[in-house]
Structure 1
Amino acid sequence: MTVVQFPFSAVVGHDDLRLALLLNAVHPGVGGVLVRGEKGTAKSTAVRALAALLPALTVVPGCRFGCDPASPDPGCPDGPHAGTAGESRPARLVELPVGATEDRLVGSLDLERALSEGVRAYQPGLLADAHRGVLYVDEVNLLHDHLVDLLLDAAAMGRAHVERDGVSVSHAARFLLVGTMNPEEGELRPQLLDRFGLAVEVRAARDVDTRVEVVRRRMGFDADPSAFAARYADDERATAERIAAARERVGAVVLPDAELRRIAAVCAAFDVDGMRADLVIARAAVAHAAWRGAGAVTEEDVRVAARLALPHRRRRDPFDEPGMDDGALDEALREAAEHEGPDDDGPDDDGGPGGGGSPDPNPANGSSAQPDDANGPFDQEGEEADATPAPASGSADGPGDGADGSPDGAQSHPHPRANGPSDQSDRANGPLGQDGDPAPTPTGTFRARRLEVPGLGEGAPGRRSRARTDAGRVVRAADDVPRRAADVHLAASITAAAPHQRARGRSGPALVLRHGDLRTTVREGREGNLVLFAVDASGSMAARARMSAVSGAVLSLLRDAYQRRDKVGLVTFRARGAELVLPPTSSVPAAQARMASLRTGGRTPLADGLLRAREVLRVERLRDPRRRALLVLLTDGRATVGRSGAGRVGDPVTDACRAAALLAADGVATVVVDCESGPVRLGLAARVAAAAGGEIVTIGALSADGVTGVVRAARAA
């Protein structure tokens, strides 16, 4: 039964998305498309609809790798193919699910033939299926890191290399990579982000007429897919013919030196890393010229290409607002024109359909202006990040330890109340969160070191702590019986069965296996954790402008959590109690927004802050028992208010230590960031850390560039 796809021509609006997909269809060398956007915006619908528009391929009959008979891969495992006649088949859209295994992606030993025939045979994976077609990854930001590494290798080299389970194979794997993602669920590593040639951001239209038309078309398709598709058959056919014509034309399009210099000048003006942006813009500009029927690239082609290729390459910080100002792009283009060399351009041909502007692939559709950008925040993996984000302010090298123990520059934003009394503030008894002073401007942020929960977890895939996973790297074999075929450790199972073959009466090439011979593959990867920040916002913290340094540290740690796919929560304590400012969420930018509205001042109810954190963690364990928690407490330890409701007047620091001990009893991994500074230090934060069974670090030690090694979240039991 043939599945009817929603027609590409019936997608309402999303002009940038449709144009980016079409440019890649015209010139696959553009490098793919990353589609960022909120849920329910037809991202997947538009991508899947593209496959029906792609020209058919001529392939070698029976070749599992889709070789072109005109230029077959000389290293094809199914080759040689010299002199073989070809056959036509549609271009493939191959989907890589988030939960795919490494075997399914790159291929592996054919287990059935190995066990039944005793031969080593290669079973191709999805990379082979996607050769000369489209590899589509929905929720690409949630893809396991080791699969991302394999995709990077294949995308960079155009080949897939398989060295595993006694198999050594290399085959061509050139494909159009298309990914969709919801930024609220995490971001991409910078290497993979840069692999996407173009990126667009889509949002649901706010225009009522447009939204009505979207619903009308979707309901019409759901009621009768075939009849709905038939209404757009002519538009689909015309778009497919235009793609085919542009593909034939693209090789003859002239890229004048003046436009090439303009591309280089724009990339230099936006300070993008590497040369991939220059190449992508050049190819996309050529594709745009071919799409509109022109014979040479013009300034408008360059502008359209730059608008789609630059936004996700120029962002330096996960909390930067996405987008690229059109005015800045126009200014860069004007400056590039002023510095052009001698004019030796080819013909300025813009007489094709659509003129020099961005064509609407389906003029009949309603228009819904989309953002011009698709910024992807920087990401990182492992111990060392791939790039150090530029600090928001202060020293470019990030904060270090100043003379008083606070980060450099902490005094550059003095708190208005720094010289006045703090713990006896007149505001101390007001409602929490409504009184107090605004938090001071944060000092410069830095590249945070990885705080890691000790032991081995089994939580959601991420990039923080070690964990057992179903799709991580193989670390060993276990004697446990595999739960599924994908869990069988082939080499270990064969090794276990080999000594018994004679006793079992083996007579042919096939192995004689018993149930007890099977061994399970043990895989290890990384998990995301719940990182709960407990921030002391009392007057003692604000007294020496330490909140500036603390805010910078929290923002740095939030950025790190954003990149490692953690859930985060934020508890603050001051005045008369503690408050859950941000319930645990995967939307880490929301925590940054809450930090910006933080109020400071008043007394220090440290025990209440710890108890509030404990309650938050208890509730989250019920909701998500597999996700391990990491508590990051930022305080100077100078508690001035004991545990509320205790019915007695006790030592506030003792109460805080008792609360910390309860966290230790719950098995919570804790890092205490000692924010105490000045010539007289009481060391009270260290007492709290000892009671919690956690580590005590300074703000300076949180920087990945400050000290060597890894800061552990808690001492291993």
Structure 2
Amino acid sequence: MIVTYPFSAVVGLADLKLALVLNAVSPRVGGVLVRGEKGTAKSTIVRALAAQLPAVDVVPGCRFACDPGAPDSECPDGPHEPGAGGVSRPAVLVELPVGASEDRLAGSLDVERALTEGVKAFEPGLLAAAHRGVLYVDEVNLLHDHLVDLLLDAAALGRCYVERESVSVRHAARFLLVGTMNPEEGELRPQLLDRFGLTVEVKASRDPEERAEVIRRRLAFDADAEAFAARWAEEESALADRIAGARARVPGVRLPDARLRQIATVCAAFEVDGLRADLVTANAALAHAAWQGRDTVTTEDVRAAARLSLPHRRRRDPFDAPGLDEALLDELLERTSQDDGPGDGGPDGEGPAGPPPGGSDGPPSGGTDGSEPPPPSKGNGGPLSGSPEDAGEAPGTPARDGRLDDERPDDGQADSGLPDDGRPDAGGTGVRVAAAGAPHRVPLLEVPGIGEGAAGRRSRSRTRHGRGTGARRPSGQLRDLHVTATMLAAAPHQRGRGRTGPGLVLRADDLREVVREGREGNLVLFVVDASGSMAARKRMSAVKAAVLSLLLDAYQRRDKVGLITFRGAGAEVALPPTSSVEAGAARLRSLPTGGRTPLAAGLMRAADVLRVERLRDPARRPLLVLVTDGRVTAGGDVDPAASLLEGTACVVVDCESGPVRLGLAVRLASRLRARLVSLDALAELGGLVRDYRKAV
């Protein structure tokens, strides 16, 4: 028997405990998204939640967990008689693996029965198993888009629709959706992000005593899990009783009009999209009041609910860090509370109805139990917030001492030669950096040909998760059986093969696999000249804007974007290949400029990065975007370095300016067999890549 780590034994994580408990009290809250760094017990506490959920009554033998009091009229195992006897079972926790197939999630034709008995039968998927339970997705941000689409449909409709291979089935699929993710590995699509009712940001404690207690308990659990669970059995039982009592109390909790207006005011002030935030906040406030033993929602309940339901909904774009300005939240709540009349349930009306049942050692409510509230966030700025002057720079200012920037010493304190935003880099070295221009819409970037890379939304690709376009005989190991085509291939030969029963007589030559075509994700690698020549600040401001725009586009298309800069004596990877827009924005905030131009070093570093990425992800095709004026003032000959990039799709952006032009970038583009464009066309890179096929 597998013993789960006790929910009550988890140290700290008050907000996460509260969010999970509120969903256990009222499934209408809509699930929890747990964001956090590695090793913060995200998966441990989510798995421990299932043991605290009340048991459910199900129709005996029903694979779709129908409620005997109100069975699903469209249940494939039905019809069931309403009011018939049921059996009680614990609430289930169903885990959706990141690499699961569409058939495994939604269900499909029962291939074994179809081939052996000749009957059409439906085999339920994970959505059916999770009905009236918990669907848990670890690393939900890495889930394939086709699975995300299925989850969105099921979460929105409360039903799963299966239309494939001559099977047409629909069944109820109402579940508590819980996901965990590490933001460093990429963000969620906005549609899926909005489907989570609450979100919690978790970080490891910096308190040595608390960290020591975490280690102490974990070692004790690993040494003897059953004995450890027995020591926490009393707390677990009390918590389960308190959840059950709060769940029974929820229908009787009253939401006064004053609190309803308060919720609407807060959601409108934070400019969240749609009305789902208002509904989630209201349901969470009702659940919080029931959890605290109250029969009327108060301002404290609204505050606790808003802290969990609004942070992920107020992001205007992926560059905004999730968070909530709690100072503004308190100001709004205080302002609206002052207008409450007698009996409105405000702070001076109805207060808490005594201590909550089950004792005072349950999960804290995030500030309502006297604990220190989290510090306010920095508002709507996100990692790229700044003054309006940060949006761009006026180009063309000459060097301050009359010399070319390439002739100035590169001592680590090189100046860009142009006015900037006045802020040093993040390292505090005092180096002036170019501010990024505002991100702009980027046309579709497509790598020529048809690849076989990871599923994405950019270039054409043969992929296992695309739409089926036909069937073929497998050339190797059969991985994706086309059931209908296989049966059609075998059908004409049944009499000749002596078939006498209902099952089909199959041979290896009858097997067919699905031919699929979809879209793949690519790696767009920028190699940028950050030296002091040719108005480096103008170039860096435009390049930063383009890279940030591509990061936003990559977030939507599931791509990777990287950035290499070269200046002074060498090149560095300023942004390792990533699909995390937050990590990318943070790295791009400060890129110093100045010094000489080691072009060969930049090309060699690009070759190294691409070589490593091919080992990590051999199917992902790269596109190299080289931004330079072609000048070489350090680092040796370019030809040997350029030879390392043969066969890589390249675009050279020529930054040369002024009345006298040497045409060095033209020669470089010819050497790389790349398309050559000017810096002014940087915002139109989508057209460049589409023209790449013509250029080569």
- 1:526-562 deviations in whole A, cap 9, x for unaligned? 4443332211212334267343222222222234345
Residue 599 of structure 1: SS of its match in structure 2? Answer: coil
1:318-337 to 2 correspondence within 5 Å?
A: 318-337=318-337
1:557 aligns with 2:537: no
* Closer, same or farther: CA 360–416 of 1 in aligned 2, 3 Å: farther
Q: Give the 3-state SS of the residue equivalent to 1:627 in structure 2.
A: coil
- Whether the 8 Å CA contact 2:383–2:585 is kept in 1: the answer is no
Classify 1:116/1:244 alpha carbon distance in 2 versus 1 (closer, same or farther; 3 Å): same
- Structure 2 counterpart of 1:252, one-letter code: G
Q: Is 2:432 the counterpart of 1:443?
A: no
Matched, 1:219 2:210: no
1:712 corresponds in structure 2 to 690
Q: In structure 2, what residue type is equivalent to 1:70? A: G
Range with bigger deviation, 327-336 or 25-34: 327-336
Structure 1 residues 574-607: Cα deviation after superposition (integer angstroms, max 9, x where no partner): 3454344455456664554443332223444444
User: Secondary structure of the residue that 1:600 maps to in structure 2?
Assistant: coil
Instruction: Return the alpha-carbon distance in structure 2 between the equivalents of residues 561 and 687 of structure 1.
Output: 31
The CA distance in 1 between the partners of 2:13 and 2:579, in whole Å, is 27
Shift of 1:85: 1.4
| Letter aligned with residue 414 of structure 2 | D
Partner of 1:76: 75
**1:139–1:263: structure 2 CA closer, same or farther, 3 Å change rule?**
same
Give secondary structure in 2 for the equivalent of 1:715: helix
Match of 2:117 in 1: 117
Matching residue of 1:3: 2
1:669 pairs, out of 649, 663, 670, with 649
SS in 1 for 2:18: helix
Match of 2:588 in 1: 595
Work out the CA distance in 2 between the residues paired with 1:540 and 1:296. Answer: 68
Is the CA contact (8 Å cut-off) linking 2:624 and 2:649 kept in structure 1? yes
Percent identity over the alignment? 64
Which amino acid letter does the alignment assign opposite residue 448 of structure 1? Answer: V
Task: Give the match's secondary structure for 1:9.
Answer: helix
TM-score normalised by structure 1 residue count? 0.85
Deviation at 1:390, TM superposition (A): 12
Normalising by structure 2, report the TM-score.
Answer: 0.87
Cα distance in structure 1, aligned partners of 2:13 and 2:225: 21
Cα distance per residue 1:332-376 (max 9 Å; x no partner): 3234345x5766626724124359xx984289xx9998968999x
Report the equivalent of 2:526: 533
Distance 1:687 1:368 in 2: 66
SS at match of 1:532: strand
User: Does structure 2 conserve the Cα–Cα contact (< 8 Å) formed by 1:307 and 1:373?
Assistant: no
Show the 5 A alignment for 1:387-466: 410-412=392-394, 417=398, 423=404, 425-427=406-408, 429-430=409-410, 435-437=414-416, 438-466=432-460
Deviating more after overlay: 251-260 vs 546-555: 546-555
Deviates more, 1:325-334 or 1:686-695: 686-695
Give the conservation status (yes or no) of the 8 Å contact 2:444–2:458. Answer: yes
Aligned to 1:474: 468
Measured at CA, do residues 684 and 282 of structure 1 come closer, stay the same or move farther in structure 2, by a change above 3 Å?
Answer: farther
1:68-93 CA-to-partner distances (Å, cap 9, x unmatched) read 11111111111111242111111111
Q: Does structure 2 retain, via aligned residues, the 8 Å contact 1:200–1:308?
A: yes
Q: Look up the SS of the partner of 1:447 in the other structure.
A: coil
Partner of 1:296, secondary structure, is coil
Give the match's secondary structure for 1:712. Answer: helix
**1:487 aligned residue:** 480
Cα gap change, 1:543 to 1:707, in 2 (>3 Å): closer
User: 1:617 maps to what in 2?
Assistant: 610
Aligned to 2:494: 501
Q: Distance in 1 between matches of 2:170 and 2:401?
A: 71
| SS across alignment from 1:258 | helix
| Deviating more after overlay: 498-507 vs 127-136 | 498-507
**Counterparts in 2 of 1:410 and 1:41: CA distance versus 1, 3 Å:** closer
Q: Distance in 2 between matches of 1:560 and 1:572?
A: 21
SS at 2:252 equivalent: coil
Matches within 5 A, 1:240-255: 240-255=240-255
**Do 2:34 and 2:200's aligned partners in 1 also have CA atoms closer than 8 Å?**
yes
Q: Does 1:639 align with 2:636?
A: no
Partner-residue secondary structure (3-state), 2:693:
coil
Cα contact 1:186–1:563 (8 A) shared by 2: no
Distance 1:367 1:523 in 2: 58
Correspondences of 1:67-106 after superposition (within 5 Å):
67-83=66-82, 84-106=84-106
Residue by residue, what CA displacement relative to the aligned partner does 1:83-115 show, whole Å, maximum 9, x if unpaired?
421111111111100110000000000101111
Q: Give the residue type in structure 2 aligned to 1:285.
A: A
Q: 1:58 to 1:572 in 2, by over 3 A?
A: same
Residues 173, 208 of structure 1: CA spacing in aligned structure 2 closer, same or farther, 3 A cutoff? same
Q: Which residue of 2 aligns with 1:28?
A: 27
Farther-moved stretch of structure 1 (4-13 vs 345-354): 345-354
- 2:513 counterpart residue number: 520
* Partner Cα separation in structure 1 for residue 437 and residue 273 of structure 2: 26
User: Would the aligned equivalents of 1:489 and 1:521 in 2 still touch at CA under 8 Å?
Assistant: yes
Distance 1:353 1:133 in 2: 30
State the alpha-carbon separation in 1 of the partners of residues 452 and 667 from structure 2.
31
- Pairwise CA distance, 1:190: 0.3
Question: 1:277, 1:310 within 8 Å by CA — same for their partners in 2?
Answer: yes
Q: State the shift of 1:39 in Å.
A: 1.3
Aligned to 1:176: 176
Question: 1-side partners of 2:373 and 2:202: how far apart?
Answer: 6
One-letter amino acid matched to 2:86 = G
- C-alpha change, 1:392 and 1:593, in structure 2 (3 Å) is closer
Counterpart of 1:305 in structure 2 is 305
Q: How many residues align?
A: 671
Paired AA for residue 361 in structure 1: P
Using the alignment, how far apart are the partners of 2:309 and 2:501 within structure 1? 59
Is contact 1:673-1:698 (8 Å) kept? yes
Matches within 5 A, 1:53-64: 53-64=52-63
State the 1:522 CA deviation: 3.2
RMSD: 3.5
Which string of whole-angstrom CA distances, capped at 9 and with x for unpartnered residues, describes residues 440-466 of structure 1?
222212233342333333444444444
Partners of 1:219 and 1:288 lie apart in 2 by: 33
SS in structure 1 at match of 2:533: helix
For 2:148 and 2:27, how far apart are their aligned partners in 1? 20
Deviates more, 1:104-113 or 1:84-93: 84-93
- 1:362-404 residue CA offsets vs partner (Å, 9 max, x unmatched): 89xx9998968999x99xxxxxxxxxx99967999xxxxxxxx
Partner of 1:399: none
Amino acid at match of 1:645: G
For structure 1, the 5+ residue unaligned runs are: 379-388, 397-407, 647-654
The C-alpha deviation readout for 1:99-142, integer Å capped at 9, x for no partner, is 10000000000101111111111111000011111000011011
1:156 is matched by which residue type in structure 2? A
Are 1:567 and 1:585, in contact at CA under 8 Å, matched by a contact in 2? yes
- Aligned: 1:237 with 2:237: yes
Quote the residue 1:16 is aligned against.
15
Alignment counterpart, residue 629 of structure 1, candidates 603, 607, 622: 622
* Amino acid paired to 1:152: L
CA distance in 1, matches of 2:665, 2:557: 27
Q: Is the 8 A contact 1:454 1:713 kept in 2?
A: no
Deviation at 1:180, TM superposition (A): 0.5
Pair 1:423–1:270, CA change in 2 (3 A): same
What is the distance in 2 between the residues matched to 1:13 and 1:444? 40
Preserved CA contact (<8 Å) 2:447 2:459: yes
Tell me if structure 2 keeps the 8 A contact 1:130–1:173: yes
Once the two structures are overlaid, the 10-residue window that deviates more, 7-16 or 609-618, is 609-618
Question: Secondary structure at 1:535's aligned position in 2?
Answer: strand
Secondary structure in structure 1 of the residue aligned to 2:565: strand
Residues 290-323 of structure 1, C-alpha deviation per residue, up to 9 Å, x if partnerless?
Answer: 1111011011100000000111111223333442
Q: Is the 8 A contact 1:96 1:126 kept in 2?
A: yes
Structure 1: which amino acid aligns with 2:22? Answer: L
